[in-house]
Amino acid sequence: MANSKNIDLVFSAAAKTMLLWTAGMVLVAVVGWILNRVFGCGTGCLSWLVLVWIIGVGFFGFFYRNPRNVIQSDPHDVLCPAYGTVDAIDEVEEPEVVGGKCKRVSIFLSVFDVHVQKAPIAGKVLLVKHTPGKFLNALRRESANVNENVLIGIESADFPGCRIGIRLIAGAIARRVTPFIEVGDTLSKGQTISLIQFGSRVDIYLPPRVELCVKLGERVAGSQTILARI
């Protein structure tokens, strides 16, 4: 039921965007009609607006897509929470979720990638923390440290004490991260947990003992690619 609710929230976000898009098109159409009536120009405006509106609908439908995937059942598998390309793998200190040294995997999302994120493990939400910041281009690696972001902490249902952090980092265009979960929620593996709009990045913080299963430059799919094994 929780996943169905989160999917509905994705549709709600898409509907709001389409409403704004349509309102903008109507405004331009009204201006075009006035220009045509008063000055005799703008005759072909409406046909072009219809074409632009159709293209916009197709784009937003593509952008807000939320694939329903068959989820890996092995509790040892940590699934990729995001669709995109692995552009960094390193070790860092993460005090809020993992509580010390951890492995970090960074995934870059282009505007053409799926922009919903999935729960990498089954477990309980320990933290949902929003941090204001800049809106640098997500292609720049330093954006992970200074951009506005939301940090989500999850404790494994199968391995008590095993915690994984997911940092959702806003990009330069839409500048919006929308989590669909709250502290205390119980998650199933592969459940839709958030939406980042129009190109960004996701950092995943893993306990140092896990075995990584991805490499730099690899294309990954949310809730499909095995990120690591506990």
Q: What are phi and psi of 130, to 5 degrees?
A: -95, 130
Instruction: Please work out, in degrees rounded to the nearest 5, the angle formed at the alpha carbon of residue 199 by the alpha carbons of 132 and 63.
Output: 120
- Known catalytic membership, residue 200: yes
Selecting among 143, 194, 200, 223, the annotated active-site residue is: 200
| Rounded Cα distance, 126 and 138, in Å | 26
Tokens 């990638």 sit on residue: 113
Active site residues: 200
